[in-house]
Structure 1
Amino acid sequence: MKTIHELLHITYPIIQGGMGNISNALLTAAISEAGGLGTIGAGTRTPEEVDQMIQEVKEGTSKPFSLNIPITVTKYAKELVELAIAHQVPVVSLSAGNPGKLIPLLHKEGIKVIVVVASVKHAQKAEAAGADLLVAEGFEAAGINSSLEITTFSLIPQIANAVKIPVIAAGGIGDGRGLAAALMLGASGVQMGTRFIATKEAPMHEAYKERLLNASDTDTLIFGRTVGRVRRILHTPYAEKLIQIEQQGLTIEEYAQLTDEDKHVRAAMDGNLEEGFLNSGQVAGLITSIPSVKELLADIMKEADEQLQKGTALLKTYSHLS
């Protein structure tokens, strides 16, 4: 099995989640430049808007980056694939839909493909379709989640057992301990979203960052479960309104209207917490600082190494029992 370094040509086994319409070139370029894999999230943007972002990322870094295409969320999946090919984007991440028809188009142009999955069945299908890597995302993750609600700690080892390609762990990861744990569960690296919001380069509103700094372990909520949708958001005034609406009865049309990307941008970028929502993973309770991306990645790698050494030393104390 090839390593993430060999497949993606990155220094650290850390990649950025898509982040939908709050994705931006500044943060993407900073993550790639620091040694991770920055990701442009297409969200519901037009091909013209994504084209501009790709150009801006290329101006900010010469290192590899990724384009996330949420297949059933965007109306432009085919056009975005063509855009990735035209710009020779080295990596494309496919999520929220069947990637089978798109993978061959990307492989033909030498583009590596990551597929986001949330179950063993989907992982095996993605591998059979030709995915180069998998992101296995647990229920702890921010934003849209699988209705299967399998947690990261349970999901990663089962998928790692079921496939032969590298698995990247996502959901509830924001520090070196999370990276170390993911590696021990059988993953080859991690994907993070929420933790990257609380960095100096992230151009999100200060109200978003401040809310993450002050979050506790119980400060994320699930909205949409009653209509077969699972979205994890941060506890805010707007989130409270959403929960009240769902308790009174929610339709799928209302869910779509209440959680469209405009309302995501309204809170995350404009700071309007009364009229928009903030996606957040459960890892929010671990965030206590706003470092630069470079500092964050270096700290994660250092802490992961220390944790793995501690774990090895601890395990040796029990060796007399074997």
Structure 2
Amino acid sequence: MNILCKKLKTRYPIIQGGMGNISHAELTAAISEAGGLGTLGAGTMAAEEVEREIIKVKQLTTKPFCLNIPIAVQPDLHKVVSLVFTHHIRVVSLSAGNPAPFIEVLKEKGVTVICVVASVKQAQKAEKLGADIIVAEGFEAAGINSSFETTTLTLIPQVVKAVSIPVVAAGGIGNGAGLLAILALGASGVQMGTRFIATKEAVVHPTYKELLLKSNDTGTTVVGRSIGKVRRLLHTSYTETLQQMEQQGVSMDEFNEATNEVKHRAGAIEGKIAEGHLNAGQISGLIDDVPSVKDLLETMVNEAKEKLSHLQQSQLL
């Protein structure tokens, strides 16, 4: 049995990314029900809102799910951590900050802890602190990204070599071939965000899904390099606005306001693509349908098995 599936008690070694404030119970529950690990993102939501979503997830599924806590930006950080215990959440992923103050506390309560990293050094630190699983995210990923700009293909084998706990790859994965490639690199599974947006259960504005379907290999844009706040977005008119702001010498506060969660919701949930941004990874160029979550996961796993069988029968292996 796959070690990641064994630890997470899932059928498939596929995890949903946190997705910040556009994360919602319906998609989280659907992914867990389909055999993956759904993830509810706490984002910058108040603890009361996070709790409402947790309760809704538990009403929709009895399967394991994860709560992602972005440490540096969560305004009710300690209250949200307390919700993990109140609602008996068995898996937590920690991102966007130093996980040291939280890993031991969570593990004492029997919580499986995932740490999201962008380098070998961060992975080794997380393992030393007691993390159970590492999610190593490459530069292909959507949204806020590391200034290291290390690609998934190069990051994963180095992290796998450096730690002894299971490694999950994030960034640039959205089909069965990608899943197989990641497993071949030594990882135990994958984490996906953008691909789950283009599913029937994703409660986002239809325009978001339509633009993902129309995207291509150059359909995403990186903004924020000029101020050290790297973010990968779907290329839209609002992305061009952000680029113009950078060219004119935008301040950190101005950029943060222009890319905050209010702007994210404006684009992703309300469909106001001239007023807010749409997070998207480079995998968007491969997305050409909007299946159910169940069909997506089954198709990915079957494709990975078929690709492996083909390789085994060819002269390559």
Bin the TM-score by the shorter chain.
over 0.9
Q: What SS does the corresponding residue of 2:101 show, helix, strand or coil? A: coil
1:53 matched to which residue of 2?
53
Q: Which amino acid aligns with 1:262?
A: V
Q: CA RMSD in A?
A: 1.1
In 2, Cα distance between equivalents of 1:247 and 1:289? 36
2:242 matched to which residue of 1?
242
In 2, Cα distance between equivalents of 1:180 and 1:318? 15
In 1, Cα distance between equivalents of 2:210 and 2:168? 28
1:210 aligns with 2:185: no
In 2, Cα distance between equivalents of 1:318 and 1:187? 21
In 2, Cα distance between equivalents of 1:211 and 1:188? 31
1:285 aligns with 2:275: no
Structure 1 segment 107-126 matched on structure 2, within 5 A:
107-126=107-126
Q: Which amino acid aligns with 1:191?
A: Q
CA displacement at 1:2 relative to structure 2:
7.7
2:29 matched to which residue of 1?
29
Q: What SS does the corresponding residue of 2:115 show, helix, strand or coil? A: strand
Would you say the 8 A contact 2:194–2:283 is kept in 1? yes
2:219 matched to which residue of 1?
219
Gaps of 5+ in 1: none
Q: Which amino acid aligns with 1:46?
A: A
1:7 matched to which residue of 2?
7
Label 1:270 to 1:180 Cα distance change in 2 as closer, same or farther (>3 A): same
CA displacement at 1:318 relative to structure 2:
5.0
Would you say the 8 A contact 2:2–2:188 is kept in 1? no
Q: Which amino acid aligns with 1:242?
A: L
In 1, Cα distance between equivalents of 2:212 and 2:294? 19
Q: What SS does the corresponding residue of 2:217 show, helix, strand or coil? A: coil
2:304 matched to which residue of 1?
304
1:102 matched to which residue of 2?
102
Q: Which amino acid aligns with 1:187?
A: A
In 1, Cα distance between equivalents of 2:221 and 2:171? 15
Size of the aligned set, in residue pairs, is: 317
- TM-score, structure 2 normalization: 0.98
Q: What SS does the corresponding residue of 1:115 show, helix, strand or coil? A: strand
Write out per-residue CA displacement over residues 204-258 of structure 1, whole angstroms, 9 at most, x where no aligned residue: 0000000000001001001100101110000111111111111121211111011
Q: What SS does the corresponding residue of 2:5 show, helix, strand or coil? A: helix
Q: What SS does the corresponding residue of 1:116 show, helix, strand or coil? A: strand
In 1, Cα distance between equivalents of 2:159 and 2:311? 23
1:90 matched to which residue of 2?
90
Would you say the 8 A contact 1:2–1:166 is kept in 2? no
In 2, Cα distance between equivalents of 1:313 and 1:252? 54
1:254 matched to which residue of 2?
254
Q: Which amino acid aligns with 1:19?
A: M
Write out per-residue CA displacement over residues 264-316 of structure 1, whole angstroms, 9 at most, x where no aligned residue: 000100000010000000000000000000000000000111112222333xx
Q: Which amino acid aligns with 2:146?
A: S
Q: What SS does the corresponding residue of 2:226 show, helix, strand or coil? A: helix
In 2, Cα distance between equivalents of 1:176 and 1:16? 15
Q: What SS does the corresponding residue of 2:74 show, helix, strand or coil? A: coil
- TM-score, structure 1 normalization: 0.97
In 2, Cα distance between equivalents of 1:27 and 1:126? 28
Q: Which amino acid aligns with 2:53?
A: M
1:67 matched to which residue of 2?
67
Q: What SS does the corresponding residue of 1:101 show, helix, strand or coil? A: helix
Q: Which amino acid aligns with 1:151?
A: T
Write out per-residue CA displacement over residues 63-117 of structure 1, whole angstroms, 9 at most, x where no aligned residue: 0000000000112222111111110101000001111110111111111000000
1:77 matched to which residue of 2?
77
Gaps of 5+ in 2: none
In 2, Cα distance between equivalents of 1:160 and 1:318? 24
Q: What SS does the corresponding residue of 1:102 show, helix, strand or coil? A: helix
Would you say the 8 A contact 1:37–1:65 is kept in 2? yes
In 2, Cα distance between equivalents of 1:311 and 1:172? 22
The ranges of structure 1 where at least 4 consecutive aligned residues each deviate by more than 6 angstroms after the TM superposition are: none
